[in-house]
Amino acid sequence: MADPLEYASREARRFVADLPRRAVGTRVAAGDLRRELAAPLADDGASADAVIASLARAAEPGIVASAGPRYFGFVTGGTLPAALAADWLAAAWDQNAGMYAQSPAAAVVEETVAEWVLDLLGLPRQASVGLVTGATMANFTGLAAGRHAVLRAVGWDVAEDGLQGAPAVHIVAGAEAHATVLAALRMLGFGRRQLRIVDADGEGRMRVDHLRAVLAACDGPTLVCAQAGNVNSGALDPIGAIADLAAARGAWVHVDGAFGLWAAASPRLRAAVAGIERAHSWATDGHKWLNVPYDSGIVVVADPGAHAAAVGGTAAYFVAGGGERDGMTWSPEFSRRARAFPLWAALRSLGRRGVADLVDRCCAHARRFAEILGQSPRVEILNEVVLNQVLFRFVPADGGDGDAFTRAVVRRIQDEGTCWLGGTTWRDRAAVRLSVSNWATTSEDVERSAAAILACAR
């Protein structure tokens, strides 16, 4: 048998080549996977090649083609070829990206990616950038920096004095804030009942008139959690207006732009996020719309001092990089995989134009989906398709229960296998969310998937 790397590479290449043809969902039962994979740990080990061969064989039925061109579930994205190859190198090199001293190459690549991201997204050039596991930790980091900054402004040092006894911080969030923003706030010591929720409009955007009223009642340190890219509708909060209102009150604005922030990289969409550079921290993902493998989140903070003070790592044996970048200054994590390599490869392979094209192409595919599906009397489109998300529901021919019908059709689509999309709830009604986030999706994939979706609704 081949050596394990040879074997894994062959399996991986076969899988990637087969992705466009594979049934997208999987019907495997967890019990079937457990039969092979969940054996008690043996006393004796096995050879690496045998282990890899058995893993590939046993996991195969439970692998979802979420990296493929007709997976429209959640907001997922696939993997650009250059990013995947760089990810393999990152694993083989096994660099610790915590400090410059541990991997000069990882540090320089990380610093380069940071500059590219600020440039592409039009964010302040002096901002600091941290590479984290995903937007959850990016939200956590941005909000931690905000907590530090707004308390510092009233003479309280969270790093030294903690949160107990600190002045109250007002937390303002849109009604459609992502669950991970609430989780980040929870980890930062802010509970759900302490949030001041700003109403959303019909598309899920923060209502500026309500924000004005909410902010008027916030006397003192204030964090505002805005969103670029609603996971259901794709809607973008009016960030410019939010930033202006917040600035008038000295509030910190954090933008959760897990996927939607990439709209800023498209000249066609840039106006939709006008003023985004006036926020104070931003969270986004590499592993969604940028099509980098998982474990790739990016946080940007306009105030590097607050960023480092809030999450930066230090240790007794700390080997300062002599002015070079130590990644752990900008991430809550200490030891860390070198996430910058696949990000660098993705951005280098796309170029500035390629990033804009990827974003624009996915949005055009989403509009085409809405156009085809919207022509059917069995479909009701629920959102303005401003980005890469289409939100709709199915309408039963007999005028029966639309929620039950919508859920049933979604299951049918998932079982049928041409494409995969997920159910959601929108304004208290069952709905379907379709996200086009994969670099490889073609117009033909869209036509074929739309036809399969409509066939399942008939």
Ligand X SMILES: *Cc1c(COP(=O)(O)O)cnc(C)c1O
Question: Which parts of this chain interact with ligand X (CB under 6 A)?
Answer: 75, 134-136, 178, 180, 229, 231, 256, 258-259, 285, 297
Would you say 1 or 183 has its CB closer to ligand X? 183
How far apart, in Å, are the Cα atoms of 227 and each of 173, 176, 205, 363? 9, 8, 8, 18
DSSP state of 383: S
CB of 256 to ligand X, least distance (A): 5
Q: 132 - beta bridge partners?
A: 297
CB of 139 to ligand X, least distance (A): 6
Can you read off the two tokens belonging to residue 135? 């937007």
Can you read off the two tokens belonging to residue 238? 């009016």
Would you say 80 or 135 has its CB closer to ligand X? 135
Q: Are 148 and 310 in contact (CB under 8 A)?
A: yes
Would you say 230 or 329 has its CB closer to ligand X? 230
CB of 175 to ligand X, least distance (A): 14
CB of 330 to ligand X, least distance (A): 17
Can you read off the two tokens belonging to residue 309? 């003070």
Would you say 285 or 333 has its CB closer to ligand X? 285
Q: Residues with Cβ < 8 Å from 409, sequence gap 6 or more?
A: 394, 432, 456, 457
* φ and ψ at residue 264, rounded to 5 degrees: -65, -20
Can you read off the two tokens belonging to residue 123? 């964010």
CB of 234 to ligand X, least distance (A): 10
CB of 56 to ligand X, least distance (A): 26
Q: Are 363 and 407 in contact (CB under 8 A)?
A: no
Would you say 261 or 454 has its CB closer to ligand X? 261
Would you say 255 or 345 has its CB closer to ligand X? 255
Distance CA(154)–CA(299), nearest Å, equals: 25
Would you say 135 or 290 has its CB closer to ligand X? 135
Of 305, 330, 146, 333, nearest to 226 by C-alpha is 146
Q: Are 298 and 286 in contact (CB under 8 A)?
A: yes
Of 89, 86, 79, 146, nearest to 113 by C-alpha is 86
Would you say 135 or 223 has its CB closer to ligand X? 135
Q: What is the residue whose two structure tokens read 């304004």?
A: 427
CB of 295 to ligand X, least distance (A): 9
* φ and ψ at residue 392, rounded to 5 degrees: -150, 175
Which residue's Cβ has the minimum distance to ligand X? Answer: 134
CB of 367 to ligand X, least distance (A): 20
Distance CA(317)–CA(326), nearest Å, equals: 14
Would you say 178 or 378 has its CB closer to ligand X? 178
CB of 257 to ligand X, least distance (A): 7
CB of 260 to ligand X, least distance (A): 7
Q: Are strands 379-381 and 389-394 parallel, antiparallel or unpaired?
A: antiparallel
Would you say 237 or 303 has its CB closer to ligand X? 237
Q: Residues with Cβ < 8 Å from 445, sequence gap 6 or more?
A: 20, 69, 70, 365, 419
How far apart, in Å, are the Cα atoms of 167 and each of 26, 151, 306? 51, 7, 17
